[in-house]
């Protein structure tokens, strides 16, 4: 559904896209709260949805947590236009801004 929301945004149907992204985030939060473990893909989805909603801080927070949990699909974040919201205004949190660094990104770097 997040990919459909992105397509809606690209078609200028922002209200529909926003509603869909908010529903996806609510469902992911619900799933996250029902489980007794954290999965990187949950936080990847949160990062993508928050980025598409324009919430860069929420996107970066979720991506940082995904990385801490072992998510490592950095290449996709670099090239995927849907992940622009994760990279925008927070270059140190994106893989491009972390060249030469190890471990999860830190705030303010």
pTM over 0.85, yes/no: no
pLDDT of residue 14: 93
pLDDT of residue 101: 46
d(C-alpha 37, C-alpha 108), whole Å: 28
- pLDDT tens for each residue of 30-87: 887 887 778 888 888 898 899 899 898 898 899 889 889 888 877 677 777 777 766 6
Residue written as token pair 């490592």: 72
Bigger pLDDT: 70 or 109?
70
- pLDDT tens for each residue of 97-108: 444 444 444 444
The number of folded domains in the chain is 1
Domain span at residue 67 reads 2-98
The tokens describing 41, both together, are 């893909």
- Does the residue 38 lie in any domain? yes
- Does the residue 57 lie in any domain? yes
Asked whether the predicted pLDDT for residue 92 surpasses 90, the reply is: no
- Does the residue 25 lie in any domain? yes
- Does the residue 31 lie in any domain? yes
CB of 82 closer than 8 Å to CB of 61: no
């Amino acid at each position: 559904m997040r990919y459909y929301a992105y397509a809606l945004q690209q078609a200028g149907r922002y209200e529909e896209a926003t509603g869909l992204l908010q529903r996806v985030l609510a469902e992911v939060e619900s799933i996250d709260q029902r489980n007794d473990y954290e999965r990187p893909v949950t936080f990847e989805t949160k990062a993508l949805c928050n980025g598409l909603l324009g919430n860069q801080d929420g996107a970066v927070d979720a991506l940082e947590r995904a990385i801490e949990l072992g998510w490592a699909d950095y290449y996709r974040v670099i090239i995927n236009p849907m992940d622009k919201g994760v990279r925008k205004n927070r270059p140190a949190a994106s893989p491009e801004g972390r060249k030469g660094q190890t471990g999860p990104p830190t705030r303010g770097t």
